Structure 1
Amino acid sequence: MFFQSMLKKLYTIGSLQATDDGFRFQLKNRLLPAKLLGVRRVAVDGRDVPLDGAELVTGDGRVLRPSDVSPATPLEFDLGETFDVRLRGAPLAPGPHAIAIEFSSEPFGALALDVEDTLAG
């Protein structure tokens, strides 16, 4: 329970925004230096969002696909760093949404992050 509440600090509340072709949100490392080893799943309101076409945009402007991130090619995620997760798909309606993200990291292993954020209308 404690770890899950700490894990939620990765998600930047208020960052959920509509885009021309889907939506985006931001993650910020507020915990400790880590490496992202892979993204397995993103779901909104219990529905999986396809990861093909998804982008991870680092604070320094690099754009990666989830398939670019693996144990062989990890994404460094130092303390204080941010990255945007951009997903393509049906637009989200304004209002609250449940977001679930499953990913692998070093040193934590497989993790699941469940948060709620509100898309402004």
Structure 2
Amino acid sequence: MISVPGFLLRRLYVNGSLKNATGGFEFELRNSLGSGYSQKVWPLKVDGDELQATGSYFIVDGKETAFSEVSPDNTFSLEVNKTITIWIDGVALEPGVHTIEMGFDVPGIGTMRFDFTDEVGDE
């Protein structure tokens, strides 16, 4: 299987987009690498702590999809040059620097994982 290094996947993250939002926190991904789809999204980790997939969502063109809904029969597409929002319900981040880890399964490639570090300001 092909392996995509984490440092390349990290380029999906839109720097400075990590912030607290109504009812939780969010960040943006922008795909400049190539179109693809995922058949499973792993729970996010924040500073090493795993979050529930049922409270984690992709938002594309105003449509929310829970991480837990992604499956081989209900894949999630990440189109080139498309920005998506990842929203986590019920979790607010303390001001300061945080490391977020994300992973997903891509057919023909396998599990792809990456992390990024960014700062949440006082709001």
Global fold match (TM > 0.5):
yes
Please, which runs of 5 or more residues in structure 2 have no aligned partner? Answer: none
Indicate which of 6, 9, 25 corresponds to 2:8: 6
Aligned amino acid, residue 14 of structure 1: G
By how many angstroms is 1:17 displaced? 1.0
Distance in 2 separating the partners of 1:80 and 1:117: 22
Residues 55 and 19 of structure 1: CA distance in aligned 2, closer, same or farther (over 3 Å) = same
Aligned amino acid, residue 72 of structure 1: D
Identity %: 29
Which residue number corresponds to residue 112 of structure 1?
A: 113
1:45 aligned to 2:47?
yes
Distance in 2 separating the partners of 1:10 and 1:46: 20
Which residue number corresponds to residue 65 of structure 1?
A: 66
Q: Runs of 4+ in structure 1 displaced over 6 angstroms?
A: none
Please, which runs of 5 or more residues in structure 1 have no aligned partner? Answer: none
Residues 116 and 79 of structure 1: CA distance in aligned 2, closer, same or farther (over 3 Å) = same
By how many angstroms is 1:71 displaced? 1.6
Indicate which of 9, 16, 19 corresponds to 2:18: 16
Helix, strand or coil for the counterpart of 1:41? coil
By how many angstroms is 1:6 displaced? 0.8
Aligned amino acid, residue 115 of structure 1: F
Distance in 2 separating the partners of 1:61 and 1:77: 15
Distance in 2 separating the partners of 1:6 and 1:81: 17
By how many angstroms is 1:98 displaced? 0.6
Which residue number corresponds to residue 81 of structure 2?
A: 80
By how many angstroms is 1:61 displaced? 1.6
Aligned amino acid, residue 15 of structure 2: I
